[in-house]
Structure formats: C-alpha cells, structure tokens
Structure 1
Amino acid sequence: MYRFFYARGVTRMGFPWRFVTRLVRARDPLRRGRLPLVLLIGTCLVAVTAAMSGAATTPPGLRFAQVGHWVANPSLGMIFHVNGAARTVDAQAAITGMESESQVVQGDTSGYVVGRSRIIEFGKSNLSVEQTLTPPTGERPVAIEAKGGPYLVYREAGSVVRLGDTPATIPAGRLLGQPVTTPDGTLWLHRTDSNVLCHLAPKADRVSCPATAPRGHPGALTVVDKQAVFVDTETDTMSPVADDGLGRPTRIGVDLPPTAQVADADVSGRVAILDPAARRIHLVDATGLGTDRAAAAPVSVSLPDGTYSAPTASRSSVVLLDLRHNTVLTYDGAGRQQQVTAMPPETGEPRLTRGEDERVYVEGAEGRHVLVVDHDGGIGVVPVTGSTPPTPSPTLVAPPTEPSRGPEQPPTASRQPPGEPDRATAPTEQRPPAAGSRTGAPNQPTPARKPLPASPPGMPPGLKATANGANLVVTWSAAAANGATVSGYQVAWTPTSGSGGGSATRPGSARSMTITGLTRGTAYRITVSAQNSAGRGTPATAQATVPPPPRSVTVSRGRATTYQDLCDAPDCAFMRVVMTGFRPNTNYSIKPHSDEWPNYNPGATLRTDAKGNLTFQDFPFDDVGQHVWVTVDGLESNHFLWRAG
C-alpha cells in the first residue's frame, strides 16, 4: 500500500518554489517507524457508582419483574393498578376513547390498553398517553406479561405483537394453541393444524420451530420449571421441547380426553390438567421429566358441578374458574382445596391472567372487580370502581386510529396530537366501600369497621428521569403510605441492554436523586419503590438516555520531525490531532488541509478507542504562516496557525 506525500519547499540548490511529489510507502497506524502514533487515553469512569452512600452494584442482566396488575373499566373510561400484595388499588387514570372489552397489559416502562381496533400506550411513571398503535386484526388477543414482552398473541390470525422496548408484529402461523412463556422470556407457540412447536426469543424478529409433535395428536404446551413441555393427550405423555426436537416422553398415568385443558405452568412439580366432561382435575408428576425415572401416580380431584375454564397456575396454587356459578377455586399441588370465592356479579365472562409476580388476577368482565389469588391460594376481592366518582379531567386522550385487518402488517403508531391534554388524574389509593354502604346515600351512617392492617406502600407517582450532562436526575412524588409510614425509597437503575447498573436507598422524605458514573450514549431503566414496615411496594418505572458527549476535534503542533528531504526541522513538525466524543471502536478517515494547499496529504484512516476518543501525531508540515486543520466525518477542526519551530 502506498501514499502520496505532498510538500512545499525549496531545493538545496536554490531552485524556485515548486511541488515535490514522492511515492512513499504508507505507514501502518500501529507501526509508524519514524512517525509513531501516540495514543492518549482520556480519563473516564469505568465502574457505575451512585452519588450517595448505600449504593450497590446491580448484577449483570438484572431485571425487576413487573408486580401488580392493570385493569380497564370501560364504562368509567378508567384504568386501575391493583397492588396484588396489598390487595388495593394504588393508581388510576382516565382514558378517553377506550373501547369496550379492553384489557390492559404492562411492560417495564409502559402499559397498553388493548382494544379490538387500537392499542393505547401510556407511561407508567407519569400516566400519560405516549402513542396509539393499530393491531394487525380485530381479534381479541391472548395477553401475556413476560420478560422481553409483553406479548399479544392473535391465535386465529397467527400473529404475535411484541410490545415494549423492541416492538414488532411477527407472523407465527395460523391456528395457534394456548401460548406459554418460560422464565427467560421465550414465548412458545403450538400450531394446532400441523403440530409444529415454535418459539420466539426476546428481541428476535422471527419465530423458530425446533420440534414437531406427532401429526393428528391433540395436546397443549405448558412450562415445568424453566422448560417448555408438550402434553400429548393422544398418547397420554409429556415431552420436553428442546432445540433439537421433542425429548424423552414420560407417561402421565391417566387417560386424557382430546378436550383436556392444560395449565400454563406447573405447581410444585405437578401439572394441572382439566377433564371438563368428567369435571375432574388431574395433577400429574413432572419432576422426572426427560429421565428414565417413572412418574409418581397422578392426583385426581373431583370438582363440584359446574363449567370450568382452563386451569391457571399461581406460584403454588392451581386456579379454576367456574363459569356457571361465577366462583374461583384454588387447590395446592397435592390436590387439597384451599379456597372458594364468589366473583361479584358482572355482565359477561371473567378473565384469568397470570401476572409476572406469579399471582393470578381474575377480572370481572366489566372491570369493576378483581379477585387476587395470592401465592398461598388465598383469594381477596378488590373493587376497582373507586370509593368516589373519578375526576372527569384531566384525562388521557387517545388519538383516533383506524383498524387494520392485515395479520402480517406491523403495528403503526400515531403520536399524541399537540394541544390535547396528556396527564391523568393523580394516582390515588382506593379502598373497598364500607360494609353496608350504598351509592347515592351519603348521609347514611356506616357501621364501624376494624382498621385495616398496614400493607406495602403504593407506587410512587410522577416518576421522571432527566439527563443532566453525564448524570440522570430522578424525581418522584410521595407514595401512598397504606397504613404505615414510608421509611425509604429504593432506587435502581440498569442499562436497557448490556450489563452494569446499581441501586441505592433514599430516606422516606426524599423526592429526588442524582445518579452519576453512567455510560454516555446509554439508555437506562430506572425503578423507584417505597418501603414501610409491611414491605416494599409496587415500583414506578421510567427510562432515560444519557446523551453522548459532544464531538470535537482539535489540531495543535506536535513534536518536531524531518521527513526525507521534503520537510526539515525545526519548522517541520507533526500535526497533533485530538478527537473526542466519536463512536467507540470505529474507523474514521482523517483528512489534513492547509490554506494554500488544501489537499496536500491524502490523510489516514484510524480507529477510536472504547470510549470514542483518539489522539495521534501525523501529517508533517513546515510552511510557516499558513493555517492547518483536519476534517473527519463532516466535522472540521480549529484552524491552527503554523509558526517557526
């Protein structure tokens, strides 16, 4: 490889000024010979630390599971956040344009009100509408909250809409069975017409189908521990699903009908399978799945007379919904009944949802009540109509959209029109109405009731994270105490991709914090949760990006040099170039210029370091009185006046 070197000067014999052109061998930037490259590594922070005592490093890949559940009440035009641990409503917001039968699903930083013709995204930290998406079809989807999601599975159309940080609409094949997710956020799908088993990994843009069940065999997917499993109701077996196909089958030990319905996850190593015609539930052993060990005998439980929906699993309970009698039943992994609770009457069919907090939430069809099934099978009723009429304004206003019926078409977004209100009613704590109270009788005395025990605080409202140079300033408002003084706030931050992050505890009186030591150009997810004597409450979540440093390139005089007979010291010296704020580990073409000879040297291509910086000395020059400068990636440096050496 060769480089032309141009210089202006006078020959030793006294000839007039002229150009002298030489063909010289180009120099490897890492092996400069007489023109070495000097790299100056700028000082920078490597470890992410907090600005106050009590800060801790967050393990790589740490992500906080979403707690609680959002529910829509279309008749009120309201959405409510149900704190599953406290069994209370700790936030609410009004939304204009909410469709009937809407459901709400949440991701790390946003929630989504899902209707048949529009999906309204709102920020969880400020409860303001961010955009409206158009779903691929008018079908009512299966909504799943999981790492990498949330997901909307349109089973008839065969499309998956992934919301959150990497939104996409992904074809998955028509006629899908009930989807499930493994703890790593992988969505598993069963194409019921072909028995092909597929999965969609977090951030993947297409499904992969590693296994096929025997053609014509009915069955369903479930999850045992961290493993996707196919339950074959034809052969009465369970087989783990791996990247190279179905694993070794394990006999279930009970004859299942083709209509059997399978729970989405195991409970204490047993998978719940409902025989709807026989009104029996079978708890089959899955602890030896994929091994030579024979499964333990199944536990079969006769159910009361009724019509049951597919079973759902909480952390340690099987949850059943009797649609005929509108009751919720829970059983432990050994088949012992834990609780039976009636669903308050509403028009329509209730809906069961397994939250990321491993609780099951049973929503009334009108969104006026939620039954919370806790980890131990206990059931609590949470009214979500509010104890007082909702404030009519301000409201979250969803921009109108037109439905799109194309199952292969990605969701399209429209932003909030300027001038429309974008703030929700302030988050308020909701309490169930006192026993015996009636709407419309404000003067009627209510019986005294025992004070409620303290519960974890509500979600801190108004969370904001704002970039200030290389730092993030986090602010929030006071969380609802829920019967015990808020003793502190836990603030945590982690990059949306990659490792790093940290956490810190602030006192209960704190309303802000500055996070320092962050990486420029990186997006961070920030969570703030309140703590009291009853525990830690639902975290508020926000996202912000630390802006990259401004790019700059500076030229000055470097060390003196002599380059053959073209450039002689002391007037001859290298140009010293300092570049900061560029893309890390990237090759850039640097081109030198001067007043009289703008193209005197073809330049060099060099690589920035891991911080996007580069310092080097090159491009010998000796023409006193001229200005020199460099250009790189469209940026021009200062013009440096060359003086005698």
Structure 2
Amino acid sequence: MIKLGISRRLHPRSWRHLRSWPGRASWRGLRSWRDRGPLRRGRLPLVLLVAVGLAGVTAAATGAVAPTPGLRFAQGGHWIANPSLDLVFHVNGSAQRVDVQAPVPGIEPGSQVVQGDTSGYVVGRSRIVEFGKSTLSVERTLTPPTGERPFAVEVAGGPYLVYREAGQVVRLGDPPATIPAGGVLGDPVTTPDGTLWLHRADSGVLCRLAPGADRISCPAAAPAGHTGALTVVGGRPVFVDTAADTLSLVADHGLGRPTPVGMDLPATARVAPVDVSGRVAILDPGARRMQLIDAAGLDTNRQRGKPVTVTLPDGSYSAPSATGSSVVLLDLQRNTVLTYNSAGEQQRATPIPPEAGEPTLRRGEDKRVYVDGAEGRHVLVVDHSGTVGLVPVVGNEGRKGSPTPVGPSSAVPDPEPGPRSASPRSRPPSESDPGGPGGPRQAAPPAPPVPASPPGMPRNARATAQGADLRLTWGAATANGAAVSGYQVTWAPAAGGTSRSATRPASARSMTITGLTRGVAYRITVAARNSAGRGSPATVRATVPPPPRTVTVSRGSDTTYEDLCDAPDCAFMRVVMRGFSPNTNYSIKPHSDEWPNYNPGTTLRTDAKGNLSFEDFPFDDVGQHVWVTVGGVESNHYLWRAG
C-alpha cells in the first residue's frame, strides 16, 4: 500500500525525490481530490501539494475592522497649580469649588496644568510633571522642547502644548510626542472632533493635526502677505483675514469663498477661539473696541447682520475667549473679568483678587472659561451663561467649605470712587445703641445656608484585571452639601466603540465589569451623584490581558485518499486554537516524528474572538507523534493511533 508523504516506505526519499515522484494520482485524480467537499488545498498530501504548486505559508496580518467612534466624556473642571504649597487643585466647574488636591513637589512659579483622560500635567518652563488623576501621585517627569511658555489646549486626543515661537506641538499622553509645525504659529483652535488647527503666521499656511496623528497636514493657505487668525464657527474652522477683512471656511481643498465682515480689521486684531451664537468676537486693542461679527452659515447666501460694536474703557486687554453663550475679556489694567452676550450687552464686571503677576484666561474642555490667579491662590469660573464665581485655592488645613460668591455688577468699577458715608455698621457703638456699653449684646445673625452642589470626584479610582473581567475600586466622593445618592460607572473601548454604564449605591466602593474583549484597552469613569447633579468623574484606563494562546491537536474524522491513505489508520488532524488575535490570518504548519516538514501547511483566519477549530492534514502512520506550530506556539505532541 502506498502511504502518505510521511510513510516509512517513502522515508528514504529526499525532498528532491518527492518533488519528482509522480505518485499514483493523475491530474484528473488531483482535481477530483481538490473538489471533494471540505478537503481543500491545505488537506492534500505533500506530494500532491508539490505537484500542483500550492504554497500555504503567508505572513500573519491583522484584519480587524476599525471600531466606530464611541461616547467620550469631555474633561470636566480645571486644574491649577499653587507653587507656594507644592499642590495642584481640581476645581469643579459646575459646583465652583475645589474637590481634589494632589502634592507635586517642586512646582515652578508660573506653571500651568492641563489634563487628559487619566493624567494631569504640571507644565513649567524647564520640566513637565505628570500625575495620575485617580492616584493623585507623580508618575513621571518630561523635558519640554523649549523654555517658552506654551499655549495649552485640552481636547479629545490631547492635551496639546503649542510652542508658538518654536513652531512645535507637544502631544501629551502615552506615549508623548513632539511634532514640528514648520514655523512661528498663531493661537491654535480646536474643532469638536479633536482636530488641532494651526496658523503659520510667517507664511499664512493653515494646518491641522488630527487626533492620534504624528504629522501635520496643511490643506489651505491665506493669500500671500495677508495677516489673520483662526477661529471655529458652528464646529468648523474659519480663517479671519485681517488684510482683506473677510471670513473663509477652511476646507480640505483650501479656503472657501471669502465673506466680507463689513468693517476694517487691524493686523493686531485678537480673535476669540470659538463663536457665540454664530458671532465671532474680534478685539481691536488699539481702538479699545470689540466687534461681534455675524459668521453663521458662511457657505450659504443668507443676509448677514451688521457687526455689533462694543466700546471698551481705556485699558489693556487679553485676547477674548467664549463660553457657551458669553464672550469673556480680561481687563489687565483694572484686574477685572468682563462678560458680554452675543448682542454685545455687558453681563458682568467682576474684580479679580490681587496677586503678584498677571492672571491668565483659559477655556476648558467643558466650555467654561477659567481665570487663574498668577500665584495659584484662586480661580474665577465663568459659566456657560456668563455668571462668575470665585473659588479660593488653599490646602486642606485652610480649605473652606464653599466658593466665595461674586455678585454681578452692571459696569466696570469706577476707577476713582468718591467718598462714602459711614454705614450704621461702621459707626462706633453708643450707649443708646443695642450693642453699646449700656445695651444688651445681640448675637450675630446666622450665616445663610450654602446651597448643595454636585459631589466631588471619587478618589483613588483603580481598575485591575481579574481573568476576563476588570475590578474597579474607588474612594468616597465629597458630598458638597447633599448626601451622595449613588455612583455611575461608564466604560467603553479607549479607541472608540459602544459605551455601557451601571449605577451603584452610595455605599459601594467597587464593581466588577464583565463582558469585555480581551486585549482591548478600556476607558472607565466613575462619578458620584446627589440631589444637585452629577459630579466630576474619575477616569482610569485598563486592559484585560489576552488569554494564553493554546493549540491542541487530536485525531479528527476518518478519511481516505484512494490507496494512499486508508482506514482504519487514516484520519484528519483536528486542530483547536484559542487566545490568538481576532480576525487574523495564521500559518499552521504540521510536523511528525520522522518527517518534521512533511507538509507545508495552510493559512487560515481566526474568528472575532481569536479562536479557530478545523480538521486538516491527513495522516495514517500509527505510532508516530504529530503536532503543529502556529505563530511561535507549539501544540501538544499527539500519539497517532488506529481508528
């Protein structure tokens, strides 16, 4: 009987002999074998595979489909550094109070703090210190590319540090990256999809950096010699041309149709990074005025409203910023925050507590504007509606239970206030007064109750793998005036995908998350709730490790091939693969004791879970061991027996 390629009768033959050996099968027989049901190219005996010239070895390559974008929480609140205390503080923007602090030794004066999903970064001129937002401990120190103070941007895919003079962008995260931008840059802006938009001030080229990209692309350019700046209108990038006094959408093919703004814009104009109800705030610092330009629907032919002019007091102003419905200006001369609505009507004029140095104005990812004191001792929070609250920043030993309320005023404070008459409280007590020497002492009126606000951020959130699950633990959140009613846990693949959530009771401090995909990184948030709403979430990332890769060989179904492989000895090998990469091609190579390379093998694809089961490689040499190798993994050695 003629055996398969591993037969003892063929053992003396070399590969050269095997290639030339005609066998006992005709081409018609080969075709009939090939077409027999499930038996395909990988199941032919060695000599037949050689005869028809089939090669079954290919490189393993992933075929996973990119996940669809999933829900991503915008980073809530704002972090500020206090160098004198060597502490960083998280300001809960909705509650307008400090809810978390973390020690960061050696904070440089003038440092700013930016946050990503799981980490915060204290950015100084000579170093960048990363700390965990859940562990509240320092994790590593980075060296910035230059000693310049960067423009900090918090957005999905970031945070970013834009070194405008050096023309470089640093994307913080894991791993961090420094990306050259090709020249001196203007103020950057971001669109809701997380794209960072840059204006090369020297050449007028307009560039973008997509989330996760390591290279900048430049789809458009302003006319040669034209000055201007970028802004975002309706979620789309717009170039404000201060030479031509026009607005143009920035598209993939270049600048869109220019739309006149209806007024003369100076080259020194400062432009808000985002519109307010379709109007863009443009500050003319020399003329001490601010224009609100109708910029909605730039790609339509609708009739545009006239610019709204806001006359400003003499002073020195920062570039305007914007919340959901308010324009925010910083009057550096009077140390005052000014807010206006889209019609140009002033909403607030709020004094800033004195500190050495100039305050800074930052727009958070939660669309609030935060005004940081130069020494890190306070933050003013400008809410979406234009209201302003003052949050003192102190350590635990001097921390107060609520923010200092700042009442609204209708105009900028008078720079030269006149004399004021003494109020009844300022007069010294007399004998006829109830509180005088001859009158009864009156108890001070009780302080008004502090209204409840959403809870603080849960502390020390951690996620650890337990088999195919993740175990999430966290500490209690600060109640902030109303008892915590529960915790909301949300998780989704970090690269994008469907999110899921669950609610745990107020007493819970842990949760096991099941139904996860092994080898996938997940972004997990836990946020406390009370009667005032949902607090700032703590965010962690964790990955369920893939299961160990295993390959098992056993005897499969009986088979026969004419008189080359006969029952009861002849059968397929049954191969079971577990824990491999999903949707990936793998080369499977069979071996035996006497003929380690008797068959070139086949290439098959794993399923969505990384598993594969199949029958292949007919064999009939009783008493030999057979096994397969796949992607560097060797299966068990199976002793072949008669069926």
TM-score (norm 2): 0.84
Q: Which of 93, 111, 121 is the aligned partner of 2:120?
A: 111
Match of 1:275 in 2: 284
Distance 1:568 1:238 in 2: 82
RMSD of equivalent CA atoms = 2.7
Q: Which amino acid aligns with 1:171?
A: P
CA distance in 1, matches of 2:8, 2:103: 78
Whole-Å Cα distance in 1 between the matches of residues 301 and 546 of structure 2? 56
Partner of residue 205 from structure 1, selected from 200, 214, 227? 214
Residue 591 (structure 2) pairs with residue 593 (structure 1): yes
Letter in 1 for 2:5: Y
Q: Which residue type is aligned with residue 230 of structure 2?
A: L
Instruction: Give the aligned partner of residue 388 of structure 2.
Output: 379
In the superposition, relative to structure 1, how do residues 111 and 429 fare at CA in structure 2: closer, same or farther (>3 Å)? farther
How far apart are residue 601 of structure 1 and its match?
Answer: 2.6
Distance 1:521 1:23, change over 3 A: farther
Query: Could you tell me which amino acid in structure 1 is paired with residue 610 of structure 2?
Result: G
**CA drift at 1:611:** 2.0
Note the 1:134-283 alignment, pairs <5 A.
Answer: 134-165=143-174, 167-283=176-292
The number of equivalent residue pairs is: 572
Q: Is the 8 A contact 1:249 1:290 kept in 2?
A: no
Q: CA deviation at 1:644?
A: 2.0
Cα distance change on mapping 1:106 and 1:7 into 2, 3 Å: same
User: Quick one: distance in 1 between partners of 2:634 and 2:374?
Assistant: 63
Matching residue within 101, 121, 130 for 2:130: 121
CA separation in 1, counterparts of 2:462 and 2:289? 51
**Offset of 1:18 from its aligned partner?**
8.2
* Larger Rg, first or second structure (1 or 2): 2
Distance in 2 (alpha carbons) for counterparts of 1:171 and 1:358: 28
- Which letter does structure 2 place at the counterpart of 1:95? V
Does the 8 Å CA contact 1:387/1:432 hold for their aligned counterparts?
Answer: no
Check the 8 A contact 2:150/2:162 in 1, yes or no.
Answer: yes
Aligned to 1:6: 5
Q: Which has the higher contact order (CA 8 A, sep 6+)?
A: 1
In structure 2, C-alpha distance between the alignment counterparts of 1:338 and 1:456, rounded to whole Å: 25
Counterpart-to-counterpart distance in 2, 1:218 and 1:60? 36
| Deviations 1:141-198, CA, capped at 9 Å, x for gaps | 0001011111100000000011135632111122100111011111111111111111
- Residue 314, structure 1, aligned to residue 323, structure 2: yes
The 10-residue stretch of structure 1 (286-295 or 522-531) with the greater mean CA deviation from structure 2: 286-295
Task: Give the C-alpha shift of residue 237 in structure 1.
Answer: 1.2
Counterpart CA distance in 2 for 1:32 and 1:526 is 51
Per-residue deviation, residues 262-319 of structure 1 (Å, max 9, x unmatched): 1111111111111112211111111232322342111111112211111111111110
1:358 and 2:367 correspond: yes
1:586 and 1:611 map into 2 onto residues whose CA distance is 10
Distance 1:447 1:77 in 2: 38
Question: SS of the residue aligned with 2:397?
Answer: coil
Which one-letter code corresponds to 1:264 in the other structure? P
The answer to whether the 8 A contact 1:558-1:617 is kept is: yes
Instruction: Indicate if the aligned counterparts of 1:387 and 1:430 stay in contact, CA closer than 8 A.
Output: no
- What displacement does 1:225 show? 1.2
> Per-residue displacement from partner, 1:227-273 (whole Å, max 9, x unpaired)?
11111112211111111111111211222222111111111111111
Find the partner of 2:574 among 559, 573, 576.
576
Q: CA deviation at 1:448?
A: 4.7
The answer for the alignment partner of 2:435 in structure 1 is: none
What residue number does 1:508 align with? 506
Residues 265 and 313 of structure 1 are in contact (CA less than 8 Å); yes or no, is this contact kept in structure 2?
yes
In percent, how many aligned pairs have the same letter?
70
Give 1 or 2: higher helix fraction. Answer: 2
Q: Distance in 2 between matches of 1:91 and 1:180?
A: 29
2:476 paired residue number: 478
What amino acid sits opposite 1:305 in the alignment? D
Cα distance in 2, alignment partners of residues 587 and 157 from structure 1:
46
Structure 1: distance between partners of 2:505 and 2:113:
33
Alignment-derived partner of residue 629 in structure 1? 627
Contact 1:162 1:169 in 2 (8 A): yes
Letter matched to residue 632 of structure 1: V
The corresponding residue for 2:421 is none
Gaps of at least 5 residues in structure 2 are 43-66, 407-442
Match of 1:44 in 2: none
Structure 1 segments unaligned to the other structure (5+ residues) = 40-57, 390-427, 436-444
Is 78-87 or 579-588 further displaced after alignment? Answer: 579-588
Asked whether the equivalents of residues 371 and 381 of structure 1 are also in contact (C-alpha less than 8 Å), the reply is: yes
Cα deviation digits, residues 591-631 of structure 1 (max 9, x gap): 22223333333322322222221211122222222222112
Q: Name the aligned partner's letter for residue 505 of structure 2.
A: P
Which residue number in structure 1 is paired with residue 565 of structure 2?
567
CA 1:429 to 1:172, structure 2 compared with 1: closer, same or farther past 3 Å? farther
Aligned to 2:295: 286
Are residues 1:92 and 2:81 paired? no
For residues 10-40 of structure 1, give each alpha carbon's deviation from its aligned partner in whole angstroms, at most 9, with x where no partner exists. Answer: 69xxxx9989945688999x9663663799x
Conserved? CA contact 2:294–2:304, under 8 Å: yes
Q: What is the distance in 1 between the residues matched to 2:596 and 2:612?
A: 23
Letter in 2 for 1:6: G
The yes-or-no answer on 1:533 pairing with 2:531 is yes
Distance 2:520 2:589 in 1: 30
Change (3 A) 1:432 1:586: closer
Maintained 8 Å contact 2:4/2:564: no
| Superposed displacement of residue 467, structure 1 | 1.0
Counterpart among 316, 325, 329 of residue 334 in structure 2: 325
CA distance in 1 between counterparts of 2:602 and 2:147 reads 57
The 3-state SS of whatever aligns with 1:6 is coil
What amino acid sits opposite 1:366 in the alignment?
Answer: E
Partner of 2:36: 33
Which one-letter code corresponds to 1:7 in the other structure?
A: I
In the TM superposition, residue 81 of structure 1 has moved relative to its aligned partner by: 0.1
Matching of residue 341 in structure 1 with residue 350 in structure 2? yes
